[in-house]
Amino acid sequence: MPFRKYVNLFLGRRIERTDPLSALLAAPTDLPAATHGASWLVQLRWAAAIGQLITIAFVRLALGVPLPVGPLLTVVGITALSNLALAIWSSSRPEVDERRDRVKTIDATTVPVLGLVLLLDLLLLTVLLSFSGGPTNPFYIFYFVNLCLSAVVLPRGWAWAGCFAAIVCFVVLFFSYRPLPEMWTAAHLEPIQAGDSVTRAHAGLLIAFMACAVVVVYFTSLLRDQLQKSEHQIRAFHADRARTQKLEALGTLAAGAAHELANPLGTIAVVAREVERRVGGTPVEPKVANDISLIRSELETCRNILKRMSADAGQAIGEELIEVTAGELIGESLEGLRETERVAVTIDPAAEDTLVVVPLVGLAQAIRGIIQNALAASANVQQVRVKADRSDGRLRLLVRDEGVGMPPAVLARVGDPFFTTKDPGRGTGLGVFLARAVVERLGGKLTIDSISGRGTTVTILLPVAPG
């Protein structure tokens, strides 16, 4: 093993088990937050063990304080051995990364392991202090360092468990520690064994310790939660901005494509019409006549596709927001829809007067596309059910069909731009993508549930208008 790998193992960093070529070709990935927490803790514990050795040597040799070196070195050795085990565990853990939303997560063993390690550190610190003056030793302040680490690295439950453990350990020190006379004078605090009673000085120190421990854990946990909340908000803002930029780019692309292709398509249409006119009065093979007719129909298909792309993307970007009821939104969605007799609409009484602030034309067109998809996936005799109700203070729209459904592989890709299962020329693959983009920009959510052979349900949640 090369020297660098020994260093990485010693510090708890991940060791890659790939050959150099694979490592070179692999895409870079972010390490999970828990991996960073474990790696940092390993490095901090090495620093703590080295600092303890230096402190013991300085106090014993330079200051001449009669410390029990043997027990203290044993405790430092336990710290080093436990940290070596933690480093090996940390370096061998698999990466955990949620690729879909880029939110980093931790596996089930990480929190208990780190929590137990920090509780062990509290116990080892207590043993060190018990051999070196107990609460009269000014280094008891390092309890608060451990508590800060617990509050930063661990969830609230584990952090408060560490706080309780630190208070218990500090109380134990009042009753069982090796007194050092040099410490009594400095701290003006005799051990309880010497006076056989708990003085006001003992009580005051214990109360101050408990108050500091609670305040440190509470405010550190609060600060960590606020930072995490801000990070999530920033991430959501950037995701929303990226979606908006994607929509704008899509609109620009669609408009540019429609403009650039309009002239050549128009020229082909004129030539095809002229050819059709010239051969109209002369006998030609049926195959030639069919080919000319096919050219005309395919040209019209191309024009319709470009028109839909341009209209869909443009309406998703720049329409004004207005207040509408659930009935008005569904009514607008059904406008211009074929086979409306196959659409069964139900509006819950609680949702009849519910107002939402939406781009009516763009959102209605998106919902219309979802209903069209449901009709296309169903047999001619099957109905598509559209229902509006309230759910968790939001307007919920459900579009259900009993068609062929979708297998998991197809369902996972629904909503990707330009992905469609329809025949060529019958769909652009933008309907669900644009619908989801419009709904999410409004602060809502669009989900799709489908079982192959049993149908599909599309759920749209929209925030209601304030007031």
Residue 71 binned pLDDT confidence (cut-offs 50, 70, 90) = very high
pLDDT value for 103: 38
pLDDT value for 43: 84
385 - beta bridge partners? 344, 400
First to last CA, the chain: 67
**For range 283-302, the mean pLDDT:** 76
pLDDT value for 48: 86
Q: Using DSSP, state whether 177 is helix, strand or coil.
A: coil
Between 174-178, 248-252, 365-369, the lowest mean confidence (pLDDT) is in 248-252
If one compares 289 and 355, the residue with the highest pLDDT of the two is: 355
Q: Is the confidence at residue 19, as pLDDT, over 80? A: no
Judge contact between 445 and 461, C-beta under 8 A.
yes
Q: Is the confidence at residue 289, as pLDDT, over 60? A: yes
Residue 268 binned pLDDT confidence (cut-offs 50, 70, 90) = confident
Angle between helices 110-130 and 33-57 (to 10 degrees): 10
Q: Is the confidence at residue 247, as pLDDT, over 80? A: no
- Give Cβ neighbours of residue 93 (< 8 Å, ≥ 6 apart): 14, 35, 38, 107, 110
Residue 434 binned pLDDT confidence (cut-offs 50, 70, 90) = confident
Domain chopping of the chain, boundaries: 3-197, 319-463
**For range 139-167, the mean pLDDT:** 88
**For range 7-13, the mean pLDDT:** 51
Q: Is the confidence at residue 401, as pLDDT, over 80? A: yes
pLDDT value for 79: 92
Q: What is the helix (H) or strand (E) element at residue 385, kind and residue range?
A: strand 384-391
Query: Which pLDDT tens digit goes with each residue over 90-110?
Result: 887 655 444 334 334 456 788
**For range 241-256, the mean pLDDT:** 66
**For range 160-184, the mean pLDDT:** 83
Q: Using DSSP, state whether 155 is helix, strand or coil.
A: coil
- Quickly tell me which residue has 């051995």 as its tokens: 81
Architecture of the domain made up of 319-463? 2-Layer Sandwich (3.30)
Q: Is the confidence at residue 3, as pLDDT, over 50? A: no
Q: Is the confidence at residue 127, as pLDDT, over 90? A: yes
Query: What b/e sequence results for 34-57 when a residue is b if at least 16 CB atoms lie within 10 Å of its CB, and e otherwise?
Result: bbebbbbbbbebbebbeebeebbe
Structure pTM?
0.50
Query: Which pLDDT tens digit goes with each residue over 338-380?
Result: 778 888 889 888 888 888 888 887 788 888 888 888 888 887 7
Residue 297 CA to its chain's centroid (Å): 47
Q: Is the confidence at residue 134, as pLDDT, over 60? A: yes
pLDDT above 90 coverage of the chain, percent: 9
Residue 327 binned pLDDT confidence (cut-offs 50, 70, 90) = confident
Q: Is the confidence at residue 52, as pLDDT, over 70? A: yes
pLDDT above 70 coverage of the chain, percent: 71
**For range 380-394, the mean pLDDT:** 85
Sheet containing 445-451: give its strands across.
Answer: 343-347, 384-391, 394-401, 455-463, 445-451
pLDDT value for 215: 78
Average pLDDT, the chain: 76
Tokens matching residue 285: 């093979």
If one compares 339 and 15, the residue with the highest pLDDT of the two is: 339
Tell me the residue length of the chain: 467
Query: Which pLDDT tens digit goes with each residue over 451-466?
Result: 887 888 999 999 888 8
When mean pLDDT is compared over 236-240, 285-289, 419-423, 459-463, the highest value belongs to 459-463
Beta strands in 243-383 (DSSP E): 322-325, 343-347, 355-358
Tokens matching residue 314: 């443009």
**For range 30-44, the mean pLDDT:** 63
In whole angstroms, how far apart are CA 391 and each of 86, 323, 324, 395, 463? 47, 19, 18, 6, 10
